[in-house]
Amino acid sequence: MDLGLASKRAVVTGASRGIGLATVRMLADEGVRVVGAARTITPELTETGAITVSADLSTAEGVTTLIDRALAELDGIDLLVNNVGAGDEMRPVGFLDTDDTEWRRTLDINLLTAVRVSRAALPSLMRHRGAMVNISSIASRMPAASPVAYSAAKAALTALGKSLAEEFGPHGVRVNTVSPGVVRTSVWETPEGFGGKVAAAAGADLDEFLQRMPEILNITTGRLLEPEEVATLVTFLLSDAACNITGADYVIDGGTMKSA
């Protein structure tokens, strides 16, 4: 299938690892010129051949740095993937143990980074009748499955995508959301990541905990997601093959959720 992505120009945030890195690689394989943004530029991101921008997107200055550099390097933006999200910073705590500082940080990382980057990129996306994909989470639909602030932030991000699709659709911009389940990334696989904290709280060995997760979560396919599987869906939604899909929220979770 010809996805019609060759020669397109993309910005991917949170590009140093996991879903973001897999998306950069897949878009580059399709002939897309990519700017990959992250607070820390990893060797893996550099090896993709993408233009890399080190920026803290929780600040207005970081967003300006990213979009100004992307416009200068690419002479326009056709595609945007808002992938920045909380990972290692998350803690497996309940509502009463989540103070205002944590609420602000979680909302800033998971929602307001996408607000800022989208606002800066939309003039170019409208000019080039582009497409945007926001990376949410099944936590937006299963709030009991994760820290409350994270679930609320991701639910707001999903709602944002629908609002942007409605407002900017008449200007030729498509906006969709992808909501993954548990993805096999360093967020889950390292002791200092969220998965390590959850395993420690349960008094379990991390490797054993990860092996049991498909059973614990009753995942129909019996395994966790791979970043490349999410990147494949993102790439499709950005492509001409999905030219009449907008305002949608696609769940990819191996059957974790049992109802719509």
Please list the active-site residues: 150
Which residues, 6+ apart, have CB-to-CB distance to 170 below 8 Å? none
Alpha-carbon torsion angle 149, 257, 186, 60, nearest 10: -40
CA-closest candidate to residue 235, choices 20, 22, 27, 25: 27
What CA–CA distances, in Å, run from 210 to 206, 207, 223, 231, 232? 6, 5, 10, 22, 23
Radius of gyration of the chain (CA): 18
- HSE, CB side, 13 Å, CA atoms: give it for residue 252: 19
Tell me the C-alpha distance between 73 and 54, whole Å: 15
